[in-house]
Amino acid sequence: MDLTSLTETLTWCFARQRAAVAEWHEREPRLADGCEVFSGAPDAEEFKRLVLAEHLINYKLWHVEDRARRKDVRPEAIAECKYVIDGLNQRRNNGMEAVDACLTALLAPLTPADAAERHNTETVGAALDRLSILSLKLFHMREQTERHDVSAEHVRGCRDKLAVLERQHGDLCRAVVELLEEYAAGTKRPRVYYQFKMYNDPALNPELYAKAGK
């Protein structure tokens, strides 16, 4: 895969994230077990699949987070939301790492052997995660601009916020493409950064292993 094809793949992902949010509000797909795991075979279709899997995790997470803010349900329901959120957050991080692993493999033939040991503050996987969240914000903020049960001031405020979100989305899309160009030019080197989340691991969270040892 050359730089042009990889850029086109990324551009497809940017657009598909936004389109998927609207589609999933009509019919929400099931989140398959292990869908965020990189198969180890890097190609454009695998990359797209991983980006959309991570996006679906964010979609699920967004709506569980909304439910967790309710005040009219029993504490047990909020606690259950917390457990779901923890699990989805872990899968979200796994998904970002898988996207980066796949992209790094795709970039390997394009990255000069003497590429500078310079790294970006954010990986492409992390940027695509931000674009995923921005896509969700854009959809839900646009919903607010179409409400008829609120004041005109509320609608105006949401339209202003929507314009800012659109600008931020465009800026971030351009920044991701530019980062890809820097990798291909050898001015920066891609790398997978692992989060190693500790709170879900019973061997690393002292609140879990301390009780288990009693």
Q: Is 113 helix (H, G, I), strand (E, B) or coil?
A: coil
DSSP 24-58: HHHSPPP--TTTTS--S---HHHHHHHHHHHHHHH
Mean pLDDT of 15-44: 97
Q: What are the tokens at 144?
A: 């607010």
pTM: 0.93
Locus of tokens 């909020």: 78
| pLDDT of res. 64 | 95
Q: What are the tokens at 119?
A: 């790294």
Report yes or no: 169 and 134 within 8 Å, Cβ to Cβ.
yes
Q: Where exactly are the structural domains of the chain? A: 3-197
Q: What are the tokens at 169?
A: 């989305």
Give residue-wise pLDDT tens across range 79-134.
999 999 999 999 999 999 999 999 999 999 999 999 999 999 999 999 999 999 99
Within the chain, what is the greatest distance between any pair of CA atoms? 60
Give residue-wise pLDDT tens across range 146-187.
999 999 999 999 999 999 999 999 999 999 999 999 999 999
| pLDDT of res. 214 | 58
pLDDT at 213 over 70: no
